[in-house]
Amino acid sequence: MCGPQVAALNHAHHDVLFRFARLFLGNPADAEEVVQDIYVKLLEQRAAMPQSVSRPWLYRVVLNACRDYRNSWWQRRGKGSVEMSALAILVDAGPTPEVVLLEQERAAELRRALQQLPPRLRAPVILRDVEGLSYEDIALTLDCSIGTVSSRLNRGRRMLARTFGEEKP
């Protein structure tokens, strides 16, 4: 029975799954759908869950779920559930309004720049620069060599810097 295991996964790793899916897909509503799909698949035992959850397993699961979601008929029609621009707000009510506004704009620009990366470059960039995975874990997650991780990071980071630079007025 995997119910308790899934509950434990939800408790311990929901934030990680949701954060990655959100950055990869570009909006929280789609990310939520993806994470829900993961739980449901595991609950219905359509996917296997290891005894101990490793970080590469966790990211591999969420990355595959994101890919499946992106390849779904609904997504291929380009009708994602929520527009990214309307949701790209990342700040709370702590700082002054000016700071909030600047951070909101910057966050929205970053999200847009990130979404412009091809998925095969976006994944390693998020895994390394946001999630802080080692190259070895990224290689395990993406099922590629460490050299490939490095070269994809080269291209992803350069593209991100250029795109972000272009977006800024």
Residues that bind other proteins (CB under 8 A): 1, 3-4, 6-7, 10-12, 14-15, 18-19, 27-29, 32-33, 35-36, 39-40, 43-44, 74, 79, 81-82, 86-87, 89-94, 103, 106-107, 110, 113-114, 125-126, 128-130, 134-135, 146-147, 149-151, 153-154, 156-162, 164
Sign of the CA dihedral running 136, 141, 145, 148: negative
Q: Shortest distance, CB of residue 24 to other proteins, whole angstroms? A: 13
Residue 154: count of CB within 10 angstroms of its CB: 12
Give 64 or 150: the residue with its C-beta nearer to other proteins: 150
d(CA 65, CA 12): 19
For residues 34 and 21, the answer to whether their CB atoms sit within 8 Å is yes
Min dist CB 67 to other proteins, Å, is 19
Gap between the Cα atoms of 137 and 56, Å rounded: 6
